[in-house]
Structure 1
Amino acid sequence: MAYHIAVDSCTDMTAAMKKDEHITLVPLTLNVGEDKVIDDETFNQAEFLRKVAECPEAPSSACPSPDAYMQAYGYNNEDAYAITLSSELSGSYNSAKLGADLLKEEYPDKKIHVFNSRSASAGQTLILMKLQECLEAGKAFSEVVSEVEQYIEEQTTLFVLESLETLRKNGRLSGLKATLVNVLNIKPVMGSTPEGTIQQLDMGRGMKKALMKMTEQIGKTVIHPTDKYLMISHCNCLKRAEWLKVEIEKKYAFKGIVIVDTAGVATMYANDGGIVVAY
């Protein structure tokens, strides 16, 4: 089948996804002081983390242009899909929608659907996996859209970070939560709301205790884990991610657990040592 998939660069893709000719990465731009970093295949995580650590200002991001999405959708009548960061966290979704509307003026028969992930990072990766599954099964456009939207409704994203400073400085959290982390070494277990915003669910003193609290949160929300994949995105902490995978496997029989490294946007928000889980 001929189709196009556009994903913004908060999607932490697997190696196989990066090689899929149907998928086009639409990069955000990361701003660290006066430096602008394009979050594409050239992104260097170690160099970026160094720049962030040395810069007194909080890093920020700029969403892709509608034109960038138009190019990713393909200038033809083939079906196209996009997966973006939660519309509550970024302008990427609105940009993707505008690009779709503009392109359909030129190609009125073209079918385009933009999925608001209501998540980020690992959550977007799992949505992409579900979308690929539907397309490879040869399902019709309307059926693909229905199944993936239902999948998004049922998905949960959790995360534990070493520092919440970037989220706080970019207006994603209250100052109180970030202060607790810095002063008392309290690591909140955060999660996405159904609308795609961020909420605190639990907390633990130290990273390991917080991650164990995260595994308990999984048990409170997961339904039929044997039918689901769980995705772990980590920022420069593979051993921590592998340890967490073992702990989750002790408690729940997921269909599979996949570990990926964070790309640029997720690296910016997760910071060194952050963990994001979606299922």
Structure 2
Amino acid sequence: MNYKVVTDSCCEWTDEMKKSGVYENAPLTIQVDDKYIVDDETFDQADFLRMVAESPNCPKSSCPSPELYMQEFGGETERAYAVTLSSQLSGSYNSAVLGRNLYVEECGEKNIHVFDSRSASIAETLIAMDIRKYEEQGLPFEKIVENVEADRDERNTYFVLESLDALRKNGRLTGIKAVVASALNIKPVMGATKEGSIIQLGQARGIKKALAKMVDHIVKDAKDTEGKILAISHCNCPERAKMVESMIRERIQVKSSFILDTEGISSLYASDGGIIVVL
């Protein structure tokens, strides 16, 4: 294999991706009070959600170091790609770019490209899958980068969370008006801009109505979906994710769909019960 794909740990992997040998994980670190959790294969979602529920403080995250990315870009492969959280939400993208620059300075030229997902979670998964698809088609490096970025730019990200506290307290909702009091059970419907920052699309009372409104937005925005993959991630709510998948597929045709449970960073920000959809 002449290439590798490095994803930061906000990227959820399918079982097939885990077995493929194509992908490497650059883990972020989560802090809950005085405990530090590395977001790798040892992450235990149930234990993490318990710690968060018991803590009076909001968990925080820190991105992988440039040195870690530099190491990941090494090895015998001729080409390396990285897929990171939106540069509007995390320092992971800048860290990966610095890691690429360090590698080139110390080890010489190599085809390395860092993709800013302009999103998070399951959106990164789709980008990572695209890279592999085009690599297996034997396309040249520059064409793979061009195609993957074009596919990324055609997708939209949507999410409904039980709580926005983790996003708000970690400064990820800059520019968004204060959300209506949770006592009224108002659930905002959120999305991502094309640049990768978070916007509010609407709101509804109760999670079911908010999910239905999110589906309305997805259907309204959908274009040429017959060849697209519907991707859904959830934090500890598989039945809710299946319901959303059915609601969408009843109204539009897609090539295929899949559902994944969130890893550490996505679990931190989606919080217990959160749903993320990318199409």
TM norm. shorter chain > 0.5:
yes
**Distance (Å, rounded) in 2 between the aligned partners of 1:253 and 1:165:** 34
Whether the 8 Å CA contact 1:230–1:256 is kept in 2: the answer is yes
Partner SS, residue 247 of structure 1:
helix
Whether the 8 Å CA contact 2:4–2:77 is kept in 1: the answer is no
- C-alpha distance after superposition, 1:104-146 (max 9, x if no partner): 1233331100000000011111111111111111111001000
Runs of 4 or more consecutive aligned structure 1 residues displaced over 3 Å after TM superposition: 174-179
Aligned Cα RMSD in Å?
1.5
- C-alpha distance after superposition, 1:169-195 (max 9, x if no partner): 111226986652512111111000011
Give the share of equivalent positions with the same residue, in percent: 51
Q: Which runs of 5+ in 1 are unaligned?
A: none
Distance apart, 1:158 and its partner CA: 0.4
Partner SS, residue 58 of structure 2:
coil
Match of 1:92 in 2: 92
- Aligned counterparts, 1:197-216, within 5 A: 197-216=197-216
Whether the 8 Å CA contact 1:76–1:107 is kept in 2: the answer is no
Match of 1:172 in 2: 172
Partner SS, residue 180 of structure 2:
helix
For the structure 1 residues 178 and 35, does the alpha-carbon distance in structure 2 shift closer, same or farther, using more than 3 Å as the test? farther
Match of 2:61 in 1: 61
Report the TM-score, using the length of structure 2 for normalisation.
0.96
For the structure 1 residues 104 and 174, does the alpha-carbon distance in structure 2 shift closer, same or farther, using more than 3 Å as the test? closer
- Aligned counterparts, 1:112-131, within 5 A: 112-131=112-131
Match of 2:141 in 1: 141
For the structure 1 residues 176 and 131, does the alpha-carbon distance in structure 2 shift closer, same or farther, using more than 3 Å as the test? closer
Match of 1:191 in 2: 191
Letter paired with 1:162: E
**Is 1:8 aligned to 2:26, yes or no?**
no
Q: Which runs of 5+ in 2 are unaligned?
A: none
Letter paired with 2:197: T
**Distance (Å, rounded) in 2 between the aligned partners of 1:106 and 1:175:** 40
**Distance (Å, rounded) in 2 between the aligned partners of 1:40 and 1:87:** 21
Report the TM-score, using the length of structure 1 for normalisation.
0.96
**Is 1:19 aligned to 2:34, yes or no?**
no
Match of 1:29 in 2: 29
For the structure 1 residues 55 and 230, does the alpha-carbon distance in structure 2 shift closer, same or farther, using more than 3 Å as the test? same
Letter paired with 1:244: V
